[in-house]
Structure 1
């Protein structure tokens, strides 16, 4: 499986996980000039959650969430700001989460959800 396929499957797994938890997916792979957000979802009618999904087959280079460094967080925040402006959601409460997906070839994939992983 290529890295791109692994990432897509991880995002599908994360979206299904969020839906099972009652989230309503508003957008997937939202792109702006400054970056991309993997999943944007409403947790309830008041909280819009911007989710970065990191899928790995192991932890040889650290846990997946560690890849969401300061530079990546800044790009996500700028992209989220554009999304909010485009939809006139400036007064909406939002949160930034990270979902790790562990793609284990011989077992069910595991998910770890970090709610409020970082702030604006």
Structure 2
């Protein structure tokens, strides 16, 4: 049991590290972080940010070790999209100061770069509605 707990903890830490990298990447494009890992009974949203046009952006972060199984957007099923939308609705009800904002759903994929040995970011704005 300790081993499973350890694996879960490591996977969770890895996920948080990817979310941090994604937030830093998006900050470089002028987005401001409102909240990280917003959770409610419906689900979780990795990043909630505001862009330079004051649009509220709900961001799903995906790490892909390779493109063998598709892109970041390919990994977000209709059910996952539905959960993200419902969680976003919960956020807007819980934080009424944001309820009049235009909203969008973005996906950011992070993968190892074959060329540089660093990381490659794929930012998909308006990935779904």
Alignment length, in residue pairs? 119
Unaligned runs of 5+ in 1: none
Q: CA RMSD in A?
A: 2.0
For residues 15 and 66 of structure 2, the distance between their equivalents in structure 1, rounded to whole angstroms, comes to: 14
Question: Does 99-108 or 8-17 show the bigger shift?
Answer: 99-108
Instruction: Classify 1:104/1:4 alpha carbon distance in 2 versus 1 (closer, same or farther; 3 Å).
Output: farther
- What TM-score do you get using the length of structure 1 for normalisation? 0.90
Indicate the structure (1 or 2) with the bigger Cα radius of gyration. Answer: 2
Alignment of 1:2-81 (within 5 A): 2-44=10-52, 46-81=54-89
- What TM-score do you get using the length of structure 2 for normalisation? 0.84
Structure 1 ranges of 4+ moved more than 3 A = 1-6, 103-106
Match of 1:100 in 2: 109
Tell me: higher relative CO, structure 1 or 2? Use CA pairs within 8 A at least 6 residues apart. 1
Unaligned runs of 5+ in 2: 1-6
Higher helix share: 2
